[in-house]
């Protein structure tokens, strides 16, 4: 099973992404409504992937990724951001973020994200159990 933590205060807005992720029978999706909740969740039961929304009341997304890395550098991250790909790349360089998702991610974004996650974990759909590997 792939454990994914969605860090967002607006899960309804991200419903197409959520539906795309949960349609995969190998995904367990958990939610955190704030950066503080995400940090606690990663300390107690680290997921394979944390998806960080751009609209959190207590953290900006890229500084939160930096904090998450200090808690557990083995957790992969994806960030929902309205920045262009070039702007996002420039702003996030060196953070090892697995994926940049658009501000309104859809089902196709979920499928591509799962493909990238499985690739970095060395898995295929329906394959082996995920190993924790550095990213």
Could you tell me the CATH number of the domain that includes residue 66? 3.40.50.2300
Question: Do the domain assignments include residue 128?
Answer: no
What is the β-pairing status of strands 99-101 and 76-80?
parallel
Question: Do the domain assignments include residue 61?
Answer: yes
Question: Do the domain assignments include residue 132?
Answer: no
Tell me, rounded to whole angstroms, the distance of Cα 62 from its chain centroid: 12
Residue 93's domain comprises 2-121
The mean pLDDT value of the chain amounts to 92
Residue 118: name the closest of 6, 18, 27 by CA. Answer: 27
Number of domains forming the structure of the chain? 1
Alpha-carbon gap, residue 5 to 28, rounded angstroms: 9
Q: Residue 127 has what pLDDT?
A: 52
Q: Residue 125 has what pLDDT?
A: 67
pTM of the model: 0.90
Question: Do the domain assignments include residue 69?
Answer: yes
């Amino acid at each position: 099973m792939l454990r994914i933590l969605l860090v967002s205060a607006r899960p309804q807005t991200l419903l197409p992404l959520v539906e795309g992720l949960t349609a995969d029978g190998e995904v367990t999706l958990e939610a955190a409504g704030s950066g503080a909740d995400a940090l606690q969740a990663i300390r107690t039961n680290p997921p394979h992937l944390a998806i960080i929304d751009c609209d959190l009341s207590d953290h900006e997304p890229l500084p939160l990724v930096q904090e998450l890395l200090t808690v557990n550098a083995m957790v992969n991250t994806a960030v929902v951001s309205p920045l262009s790909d070039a702007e996002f790349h420039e702003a996030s360089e060196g953070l090892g973020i697995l994926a940049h998702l658009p501000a309104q991610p859809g089902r196709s974004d979920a499928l591509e994200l799962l493909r990238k996650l499985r690739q970095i974990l060395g898995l295929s759909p329906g394959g082996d159990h995920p190993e924790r590997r550095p990213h």
